[in-house]
Amino acid sequence: MLAFRVRYLTGRVYATDATDRNRVEWPPHPERFFSALVAAAFRADIPRAREALEWLEAQEPPHIAAPPLAGERRVHAYVPVNDVDGMDVLPLHRPKQPRPFPSGTITGDATVHFVWPAAHPPASVRECLAEIAAQVTYLGSSMSLVAVDMVEDAPPPNYVPHPQGDVVLRVPFRGRLAELDHRFRLGERPVPGRRIRYRRLDDNPRLPETARSVFGEFFPFRIRGRWPLAAALTLTATVRAAVLSLADEPVPSILHGHDDRVHCAYVPLPFVGADHADGSVLGFAVVLPRGVSWPERQAVFRALGKLRCLELPGGRVLEAKPVNAFATARTPSTLTPWRWCRPARVWASVTPVVFDRFPRRRHRAAEVLADSCRFVGLPAPRQVTVSQASPLRGVPRSRDFRVRRQPDEPLRYVAHVILEFDQPVDGPVLLGSGRYFGLGFFAPVVTAEEATQA
C-alpha cells in the first residue's frame, strides 16, 4: 500500500472547481495532488524525482478518504489580467477584472488521505516520494496551506473509482508528467487531464442540495460618505445609469435588460442586522446573472473598471471604489459577498419586496411570493412572514422607502418579508418587480427567530 496524508493547516480549502468557478473543489482531485507533487519536486530539485513521479502516474487511480465540508464561502477580488502585451505588462497599466475565490470549511481534523491500496513501490521510489511529499506546502490556491507526509496506515476510503459512480474527478495518467513539462516549456497553462467516476462509500447523509437563483456573481463597491437606506432606489438607479454611460457602444443588453432577458441587478449594501446597525448604505454591488457569456462578462468588466464616482440628483457626488476582497482587516463585512451570498435556509428582506401582484383572497401573499421565488429559479419557501415593520435592526419600515422610479408608476403592494426554505439557498436573493434596482434584496440569517429579534 502507498498512502499520503494531507493536513489542511488552517482548516479551510481554497480550490476552484474546474466546472464552476464559483464553487470549491471537494474532495481534492487526485490530479491536483499529483500536480502539487510535481511542482514541489522540481522546485526543490530532488534527485530522481522524475523516475518516482513517472512510476506514480502509471498506477491505478487512488482511493480517497476525505471529510465533508461544513460550508462554502466565495469572495471576489479584482486581479491583474495576465494576457497583455507591450507597456500593459507594467503594474500601473495592467487592467484588472473580477475573479471569484471560493473556499470551504473542512469538518473534523481537516485531513485527507490518498491511498493506492495495490501499489508496492520500490524502496528508492518510496523514499523519493516521501521526500517530495514533505516539500508540498499548498494544495489548490497558495492560501490553501497543507502539510503532506507518507503514512503506513490510512482510514477507510469514502471515495473509490467505480464506472457507475456519481462523482467525477480528474486523475493522473501515464504520460501526464511529460505533458506538464511540454506545456511548461511553451509557457502554457496545463489543461485538465483524464476524468473518471468515483463512488461515495460512507453512510454519512449528504448535505441538502443548495438552491440557487438566476443571480450569481456579486461585485461590491465602497462609496465615500453615507447614504440613507430608505433612498436606496435613488442610489441604485444612479449606479445603473453610470454603468450604462461607461459601457461600450452598443450597450449590451446584459446591463439594461431591454430585451426582457435576465440582466444585471444593482443593489445597496447597508449596515443592518447588528447591535448598533443604523441602516447607512456603505456601498453598492452589481450582480451578474448566471450563465453569462464571456464576451458579455468582458463588456460588464470594462464598464465597471471605469466607474469612479456617482453623480446623484441634487448635485451630490459620491466616490465609488471596488472592494478588495482580501483586505479583510479593513473591509466591513457589509461590503463582502459573504454577508449577502452565504448559504442559508432563512432570508430576511433588507429592502422591501415590491410584489409582482397584489395579494388577494385568491392569491395570498405566500402564494405570490412562492411564484416570485420560482420565477427567479428558487424553490417555494416553506414558510413566509410578511410585515410592514423591518425584520432586521437598522432597516426602515417599508412605507418609508422610495419604491417608484417615476411618479406615474402604478401603486404596488410593498412589505418586508422573511422566507424560510426546506433547503439551503445560495445568495444573492432578489425578489419582486423592483429586484433589478435593489428592492426585494435579502440577507441570510440563522433562524427566523433571529430575524425577528435582530
> 257-301 pLDDT, tens per residue?
888 789 999 999 999 988 888 999 999 999 999 888 888 888 898
The pLDDT of residue 72 is 80
Name the nearest CA neighbour of 263 among 286, 285, 235: 286
- The per-residue pLDDT for 218 is 87
| 419 residue type, one letter | L
Low-confidence ranges of the chain (pLDDT < 70): 76-98, 203-208, 325-330, 361-363, 446-454
CA–CA distance, 199 with 61 (Å, rounded to integer): 13
| Phi-psi sector, 45: left (phi>0), alpha (psi -120 to 50), beta | left
Which pLDDT does position 386 carry in this prediction? 93
What is the reported pLDDT for 164? 82
* Separation between Cα atoms, residue 165 and residue 298, nearest integer Å: 37
Any idea which residue has 488552517 for its cell? 10
For residue 157, say if its preceding peptide bond is cis, omega within 30 degrees of 0. Answer: no
Quick one: how far is CA 452 from the chain centroid? 27
Predicted pLDDT at 325: 62
C-alpha dihedral sign at 228, 392, 406, 213: positive
Q: Select from 73, 218, 45 the least CA-distant residue to 144.
A: 73
For the full predicted model, state whether its pTM sits above 0.85: no
